[in-house]
Amino acid sequence: MPLLTIQVNRREYKVEVEATTSLLTVLREHLHITSPKVGCETGDCGACSVLVDSRLRRACLTNALSVQGAEVTTVEDLGEPGDLHPVQKQFYENFASQCGYCTPGMIMATKALLDRNPRPTDKEIKEALSGNLCRCTGYVNIIKAVRAAAEQMASCGGGK
Amino acid sequence: MFDNDFLAPTDLPQACSLLFREMNQAVILAGGTILMARFNRRRPRRRVMIVYLGKLGLDYIRVSGRQVIVGACATLADIAASEEIRSRLPLLGQTCSEMACPAVRNAATLGGNVANGARNADGIPALMALGAKVVVASTTGEEKVSIEEFFARPKAEMLKNGGLIKEFEIPALDADDKWGWLKLKQRQGEGRSVVTAAVRIKMENKVCYDTRLVLGGVAPRPFVSPSAAATLGGRPLSPELIEETAQKAVSETNPLSDARGSAWYRKKVAAVLVRRILGQLA
């Protein structure tokens, strides 16, 4: 089987993968990095959103071997208990999560947005998160959290 | 489990001869947003050889005289953000910015959208309205055909010689070109369209000539409406003429009923989109 060399959360991994394997399968089943969730597997729900070379991607629709040598970032790399990334902290403080299944994807989509556009308007926030579904919160608190994260990151000079 | 292969050729002739040689097993992968969804739904039931086009360097967008050349592997996000596209082909830029959702646009390619050829693929109406040409590379060399001609030919014939889309050659919009683009989708982040309409008209003193009105999602393939060109040709846009054009264009459609909308609804909506677009241009 072909060998995949990939950087995930600043650590290099070498994995043997089948040609049709998705990045999501590699992350979850080979590397046991489980923040990207298995949702629809058709690209509609956004639960598997990760950054590939700093761009937001669907891990479920990304062929693992097509991102040979790439750098993948998941929520695990952003922060940890006691030292949360501003986006994580504001999702927590603003109750932007209920069941939590969509949250890792939402946080990665938010990070991708704020890295590119540190002061987004509400319209831009909604557009950036349009591909991430949440069936619990009704989105109001999520948008509030994104706004708060943008403010926090601006006030501490671009976040972590 | 089959012993599937994954190959990432680095030059075009190599890719074509690979496709030619492995015709029965080769599956072309570009952005992966269509193919991987298919694999996720059902593992392939035969051995496949994935031929990945991402290493061919076909992701360029460049200007060549009056033409804009868009490589088949340019992503929808890159096209939507491109300054060349915004200034010369705003119709295409708007189309790409409204397809799918941000994460999918970062991977999905224009070439993949066209090659997949879905009835509601949004790239196709935009390229048809703009009079784009498709450059097909194969083991027998390169060939340039209009996008209508591309779809008129049987796919098997193109693939027989290891053919793949290399790039699109799109004439830049002129100052007297008016354009419009509207699409109905079910919700913001799930960008698959129910009905799409794209229009490009050359207009002089409000008189239309050289109209290309394209409807998508209402026939097996998006199509350039022959009656719209005939109806609008040489006449000034008036509310009556817009109504007549909308009715005639809709009479050419042959929609399916599916989970996104019934045939009846699609016809109604197609007429509304045509009216709105032409109304904006009047």
Verify whether the Cβ–Cβ distance A62 to B44 is below 8 Å: no
The domain ranges of chain A are: 3-77, 86-155
- State the average pLDDT for chain A: 95
Interchain pair B103, A56: CB under 8 A: yes
B33, A61: Cβ pair inside 8 Å? yes
Best mutation target among A16, A28, A58, A117 (most B Cβ atoms within 10 Å) is A58
Query: Which residue type does A67 have?
Result: V
Q: Residues of B with CB below 8 A from A2's CB? A: 6
- Per cent of chain B over pLDDT 70 is 99
What is the architecture, at CATH level 2, of domain B177-281?
Answer: 2-Layer Sandwich (3.30)
* Separation CA B215–CA B126 (nearest Å): 10
Cβ proximity of B79 and B62 under 8 Å: no
Q: How far apart, in whole angstroms, are the C-alpha atoms of residue A48 and residue A5?
A: 20
| Residue in chain A lying closest to B53 (CA) | A66
Q: Where are the domains of chain B?
A: 5-52, 61-171, 177-281
Is A22 within 8 Å of B41 when comparing Cβ atoms?
A: no
User: A138: number of CA atoms within 13 Å, CB side?
Assistant: 1
Looking at residues B147-175, what average pLDDT do you find? Answer: 91
Q: What's the Cα-to-Cα distance from B205 to each of A25, B90, B153, rounded to whole Å?
A: 59, 22, 38
- Distance from the A14 Cα atom to the nearest Cα atom in chain B, whole angstroms: 16
Q: How far is A136 from chain B (nearest CA, A)?
A: 17
DSSP H/E element including B128: helix B123-129
Q: Which H or E element spans position B279? A: helix B263-281
Say whether pLDDT at A159 is over 70.
no
| CB < 8 Å to A68, chain B | 8
Q: Which residues of A touch B101 (CB under 8 A)?
A: 43, 46, 130-131
pTM greater than 0.90 (yes/no)? yes
Residues B3-56 have pLDDT tens digits of 889 999 999 999 999 999 998 899 999 999 999 999 999 988 899 999 999 999
Question: Tokens 């949440």, residue?
Answer: A134
A16 touches chain B (CB under 8 A): no
pLDDT digit string, tens, across residues A120-158: 999 999 999 999 999 999 999 999 999 999 999 998 765
Give the CATH number of domain B61-171: 3.30.465.10
Amino acid at A105: G
Does A5 contact B at CB distance below 8 Å?
A: no
pLDDT tens by residue, B226-278: 999 999 999 999 999 999 999 999 999 999 999 889 999 999 999 999 999 99
| pLDDT tens-place string over residues B184-197 | 988 766 678 999 99
Q: Is residue A69 less than 8 Å (CB to CB) from chain B?
A: no
Q: Could B32 and A61 be called an inter-chain contact, meaning their C-beta atoms sit closer than 8 Å?
A: yes
Domains B61-171 and B177-281 share a fold: no
pLDDT at position B1 is 62
Contact: B107, A57; criterion CB under 8 Å: yes
Average pLDDT of span A18-39:
97
CATH class of the domain defined by A3-77: alpha beta
Q: Do A63 and B103 touch (CB under 8 A)?
A: no
What pLDDT does residue B187 have? 76
Task: List chain A residues with CB under 8 Å of B185.
Answer: none
The CATH class, in words, for A86-155 is mainly alpha
Number of H helices, E strands in chain A: 5, 5
The model's pLDDT over A41-87, given as tens digits with 9 standing for 90+, comes to 999 999 999 999 999 999 999 999 999 999 999 999 999 989 999 99
**ipTM value greater than 0.85:** yes
Give the three-class secondary structure for B102: helix
Tell whether the model's pLDDT for residue A160 goes beyond 60: no
Chain B: give the shortest CA distance to residue A44, in Å. Answer: 6
